[in-house]
Amino acid sequence: MYEYAIAWDWITFAVRWLHVITAIAWIGSSFYFVALDLGLKKHPQLPPGAYGEEWQVHGGGFYHIQKYLVAPANMPEHLVWFKWESYVTWLSGFGMLCLVYYAGADLYMIDPAVLDVSKPVAIAISLCSIAGGWIMYDLICKSPFGNDNTRLMVALYFILVAVAWGYTHLFTGRAAFLHLGAFTATIMSANVFFIIIPNQKIVVADLIAGRKPDPKYGRIAKQRSTHNNYLTLPVLFLMLSNHYPLAFGTQFNWIIASLVFLMGVTIRHWFNTRHANAGNPTWTWLITVILFIIIMWLSTVPKILTGEPTTKISATQQPFVTAQAFPKVRDTIMGRCSMCHAKEPSWDGIIAPPKGVVFETDRDIAAHAREIYLQAGRSHAMPPANASHITDEERRLLVSWYESAINGEKTQ
Ligand code: HEC
């Protein structure tokens, strides 16, 4: 069923498209409200209960926004909620995790040199760590330890460093970074789902019942929302990192991830200070650049490869190796692809295997069969600009090899 491979690719694209769109909407509204909040002006003419206001101009109109710190005296007739951006970002992100990492666990998640586990165990570790992360975070925030915001943030930072270390000792570098991103993004979305929105609902219910809402609900929501603010940029880095093997695939990847969380703070601090009209702390950019240079330097330390390369061929990979066309396919891949896709590429200017894709063993080829089919058979995406002069006949060979193996046709 080669149609399956094509449909799968398009479904992944659709879910990714959705994920990026909703993430833009969520992060966009979140940045907007943080900036609005910090820029609010206070003056005596504000209506009772109002904390501050701001005038804005956008898209040809003027907007006049006022913030009520706890709540207005009466329930407004129309109230706009901001929550679906966050929920759908999480749901589509979880969809991507299932489609790419759970379905392709052999390829993307499990590195037998790191931890040799079966697919179900790897998926269980993934799910438990993400859910457990939220539970632990939430308990710490609710405990007396969480009363001091700065102390809490420093402790959370060290937890994230430990989690970064942990994930790089459970999964491939690529999956480790993605999981660290998912771990953090789940905390952010759960903050919206379990804390911020329910607290707002309590306040709304009080208003409707004519009770005076307790300001503590707003305060707690603000604390969680501040965490979300500082976590946004690192999460985006981690989500994009799978395109950059130097970030996830080198020895000190967990230190790189830890420094990225610091950059999230230094960059956001500059914007937050500016939006609050509280100065122009350019030193934060200096620190950001220094951190980035340290990251680049750390990525030059090569990954020390422990153990032999994996050659174990799983049952699902077997048909690709036993297919009649395989010896010719192997020759094609070795001749047209491996100059770039090797642990030590020989192609000028390529210093690490692109996207971490290596074709050195039969297992490598079998494990990447679907991608080979899509990238070099069905489409002409690979080799880039046909750098290695693959012929149309060789492309047809890759296509018929994949399709016959997946259909379980006659094998040797
Ligand atoms: C000249 C070097 C070069 C050659 C030759 C080459 N590739 Fe690539 N390959 C790259 C680069 C660079 C990327 C990363 C592209 C990107 O970042 O989008 C890549 C990415 C890939 C990916 C991952 C795509 C993804 O989006 O995850 C696959 C699979 C792949 N190549 C397969 C092949 C196959 C099969 C061949 C041989 C038919 C081949 N490549 C030949 C340089 C090469």
CA 309/CA 367 separation, integer angstroms: 13
Which atom belonging to ligand 1 lies closest to the Cα atom of 371? 29
- Half-sphere exposure in the Cβ direction for 166 (13 Å, CA): 14
Structure tokens at 318: 């077997």
CA-proximal residue: ligand 1, atom 29 (nearest)? 371
Yes or no: say if 388 and 339 are a contact pair by the CB < 8 Å rule.
Answer: yes
- Residues recorded for the chain: 412
Distance 233 CA to ligand 1 centre (A): 28
CA 373/CA 390 separation, integer angstroms: 14
Which atom belonging to ligand 1 lies closest to the Cα atom of 372? 35
Question: Among 326, 339, 334, 345, which Cα is nearest to 398's?
Answer: 326
Structure tokens at 216: 């503590």
Q: What is the pLDDT of residue 410?
A: 52
Q: What is the pLDDT of residue 284?
A: 95
- Half-sphere exposure in the Cβ direction for 137 (13 Å, CA): 29
Distance 341 CA to ligand 1 centre (A): 7
Burial classification of residue 262, based on how many CB atoms lie within 10 Å of its CB (0-12 exposed, 13-18 middle, 19 or more buried): middle
Q: What is the pLDDT of residues 200-246, one digit of tens each?
A: 999 889 888 888 888 888 889 989 999 999 999 999 999 999 888 88
b/e per residue 47-85 (b: at least 16 CB within 10 A): eeebebbbeeeeeeeeeeeeebebbeeeeeeeeeebeeb
Yes or no: say if 244 and 276 are a contact pair by the CB < 8 Å rule.
Answer: no
Intervals of the chain under pLDDT 50: 411-412
Q: What is the pLDDT of residue 412?
A: 45
Q: What is the pLDDT of residue 305?
A: 53
**183 φ, ψ (degrees, to nearest 5):** -55, -50
Q: What is the pLDDT of residue 213?
A: 86
- Ligand 1 cavity residues, CB under 6 Å: 243, 336-337, 339-341, 347, 350, 354-355, 357, 368, 371-372, 375-376, 382-384, 387-388, 390
Which atom belonging to ligand 1 lies closest to the Cα atom of 394? 38
Q: What is the pLDDT of residue 143?
A: 95
C-alpha distances in Å from residue 190, one per residue of 50, 112, 131, 184, 272: 29, 32, 10, 10, 23
Q: What is the pLDDT of residue 356?
A: 81
Q: What type of residue sits at position 352?
A: A
Burial classification of residue 283, based on how many CB atoms lie within 10 Å of its CB (0-12 exposed, 13-18 middle, 19 or more buried): exposed
CA 390/CA 248 separation, integer angstroms: 30
Structure tokens at 205: 């219910």
Distance 374 CA to ligand 1 centre (A): 11
Q: Within 10 A of 409 (CB to CB), how many other CB atoms are there?
A: 12
Q: What is the pLDDT of residue 303?
A: 66
Which atom belonging to ligand 1 lies closest to the Cα atom of 339? 5
Which atom belonging to ligand 1 lies closest to the Cα atom of 374? 29
Q: What is the pLDDT of residue 292?
A: 97
CA 130/CA 190 separation, integer angstroms: 11
